Amino acid sequence: MDSGRTDLITAIGDKMEWLAERQRILAQNVANADTANFKPKDLAPYDFKNTLAQAMVAPAVTNPHHILAGHHAKPGAQVTKAKTYETLPSGNAVNLETEMMKVSQTGMDYAQMSSLLKKWQNMVRIAIGK
């Protein structure tokens, strides 16, 4: 197995970790749906392209005029303030519908990522003849 492929698997794992972390943030928002002065949070969007650029072989810079494709920053799970459009008189800005939508979106993305991993697993299984 060449390292390029396993790197892609690492990328999927990274995304899954990001999704789990996002689910945690969303659970906090839902749990605090009736807490005074609570503002909902969210994670900064996951940059898959960036991770993919890391997984792939990066072109070498042999001339100062070369422009490096994709910067090599680690995809950070940065907690940001979620956009809200309604704040209650108590100062709470959690909108349950929005949060539930995000929760199901996260769940679906997670399912997608895990089935991708499963597919890769099956492929390896075929390759080793089991």
**Residues of this chain that bind another protein (CB under 8 A):** 16-17, 19-21, 23-24, 26-28, 30-36, 38, 96, 99-100, 103-104, 106-107, 110-111, 114, 117-118, 121
Q: Are 72 and 15 in contact (CB under 8 A)?
A: no
Q: What is the DSSP string of 4-62?
A: HHHHHHHHHHHHHHHHHHHHHHHHHHHHTTT-TT---EEEPPP-HHHHHHHHSPPPP--
CB of 26 to another protein, least distance (A): 7
Work out how close the CB of 130 gets to another protein at its nearest, in angstroms, rounded to a whole number.
13
Closest CB 56 distance from another protein, rounded Å: 24
Residue number, 69 or 126, with CB nearest to another protein: 126
Q: Which is nearer to another protein, 3 or 104 (CB)?
A: 104
Closer by beta carbon to another protein, 51 or else 98? 98
The residue among 23 and 50 lying less far from another protein, judged by its C-beta, is 23
106, 26 in Cβ contact below 8 A? yes
From CA 59, how far away is CA 28, in angstroms rounded?
42
